[in-house]
């Protein structure tokens, strides 16, 4: 049910020490909207059992849906928070003539429900699970509210990225909104301008919303408190599935992900370009197996296109079925932890052969 894929150094460490939560100091959460539903049961197990009673800090790094998940995990009751998020997201219904303002309003409703009454304070005050939301600040026409100018800018970004990912840095800057006590740094070989902004009670909701604000689909977030003035967008534009190294310590990175072949940025989704193997050397990925995905309704994981191709009743039934089925992934991970059958782990480099 669950594929476990590890970088070379990560596998060596696991072989020496066994697979346990003490090995990890970083957790990654990727973009992907409702594709995240395929990880729901696993998320509940990881933060309800695997990391339960943890006392050593764990850095949570997320973009878009991954940032929303991280915000749930840093609350006092992470399982209740991620369950609220799954409930709200899966039951979202839009009008027939949905526009960016309606999608943004629904996202705010989801965020408020997932955070509850004290979520902001709990996240900022958490001394173990320390959040980092990746957000992109726009340059050029992406600062405009005009969909036409935004579309022109995105097309330019697409063309630049096809030539070389490094060229995309002229279009967007990376902003890391981080826990007040975090010293985490990102080592990025592509040279994106990366700025760090401390999370506060005043900016956390806006930073989190910005991390999931998809261009053309939602409204950008203007002038986040504590950050330079400007328009901020979805962190997945640059960091869709991640292609960088994290400067923290020599421990491992845990990365539950819905795809065994991560893509660096949003514009790489349909390209053959691969992430750098060395960036996954100390990463352990937990991925729903192809067999598990084939067993789901329609033989696929949820995605945003379901809003267009299914009526609300059909889509909600399908999504809730997927959420329930992912308990099998949690059971599979629990079985692995009990057996410590390390022969089930595949090398990340082999994943692309």
Per-domain boundaries in the chain: 2-347
- Quick one: angle between helices 312-325 and 327-339, nearest 10? 10
d(CA 234, CA 138): 10
- Please report which confidence band the pLDDT of residue 353 belongs to, taking 50, 70 and 90 as the band edges: very low
The answer to whether 4 and 284 are in contact (CB under 8 A) is yes
Tokens standing for residue 79: 């399982």
Name the average pLDDT for the chain.
Answer: 95
pLDDT score for 250: 80
d(CA 254, CA 161): 28
Residue-wise pLDDT tens digits, 36-47:
999 999 999 999
Could you tell me which residues come within 8 angstroms of residue 234 by beta carbon, excluding any fewer than 6 positions away? 31, 63, 64, 135, 136, 210, 211, 212, 213, 214, 215, 218, 266
Residue-wise pLDDT tens digits, 335-350:
999 999 999 999 997 5
Interval 216-221 mean pLDDT = 94
Residue-wise pLDDT tens digits, 48-78:
999 999 999 999 999 999 999 999 999 999 9
d(CA 198, CA 139): 22
Tokens standing for residue 65: 């849906």
Could you tell me which residues come within 8 angstroms of residue 178 by beta carbon, excluding any fewer than 6 positions away? 130, 131, 132, 133, 184, 196, 197, 198, 199
Tokens standing for residue 296: 């789901």
Could you tell me which residues come within 8 angstroms of residue 16 by beta carbon, excluding any fewer than 6 positions away? none
3-class secondary-structure state, position 78 = helix
Say which residue the tokens 């039934």 belong to.
317
């Amino acid at each position: 049910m669950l594929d476990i894929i590890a970088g070379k150094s990560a596998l060596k460490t696991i072989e020496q020490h066994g697979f346990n939560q003490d090995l990890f100091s970083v957790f990654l959460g990727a973009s992907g909207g409702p594709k995240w539903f395929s990880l729901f049961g696993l998320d509940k197990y990881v933060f309800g059992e695997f990391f339960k009673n943890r006392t050593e800090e764990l850095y949570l790094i997320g973009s878009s849906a991954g940032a929303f998940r991280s915000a749930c995990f840093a609350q006092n009751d992470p399982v209740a928070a991620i369950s609220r998020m799954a409930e709200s997201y899966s039951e979202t219904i839009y009008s027939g003539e949905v526009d960016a303002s309606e999608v943004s309003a629904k996202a705010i409703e989801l965020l408020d429900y997932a955070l509850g009454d004290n979520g902001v304070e709990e996240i900022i005050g958490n001394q173990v699970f320390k959040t980092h939301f990746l957000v992109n600040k726009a340059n050029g026409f992406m600062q405009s509210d005009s969909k036409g100018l935004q579309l022109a800018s995105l097309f330019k970004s697409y063309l630049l990225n096809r030539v070389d990912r490094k060229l995309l840095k002229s279009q967007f800057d990376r902003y890391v909104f981080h826990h007040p006590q975090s010293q985490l740094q990102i080592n990025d070989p592509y040279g994106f301008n990366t700025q760090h902004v401390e999370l506060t009670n005043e900016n956390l909701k806006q930073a989190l919303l910005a991390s999931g604000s998809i261009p053309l689909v939602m409204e950008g977030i203007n002038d986040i408190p504590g950050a330079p003035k400007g328009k901020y967008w979805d962190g997945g534009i640059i960091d869709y599935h991640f292609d960088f190294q994290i400067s923290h310590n020599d421990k491992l990175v845990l990365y539950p992900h819905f795809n065994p072949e991560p893509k660096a940025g949003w514009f790489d989704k349909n390209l053959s370009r691969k992430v750098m193997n060395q960036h996954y050397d100390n990463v352990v990925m937990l991925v729903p197996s192809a067999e598990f995905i084939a067993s789901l309704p329609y033989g696929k994981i949820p995605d945003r296109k379901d809003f267009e191709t299914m009526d609300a009743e059909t889509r909600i039934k399908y999504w809730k079925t997927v959420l329930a089925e992912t308990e099998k992934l949690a059971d599979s991970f629990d079985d692995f932890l009990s057996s410590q059958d390390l022969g089930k782990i595949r090398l990340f480099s082999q994943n692309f052969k």
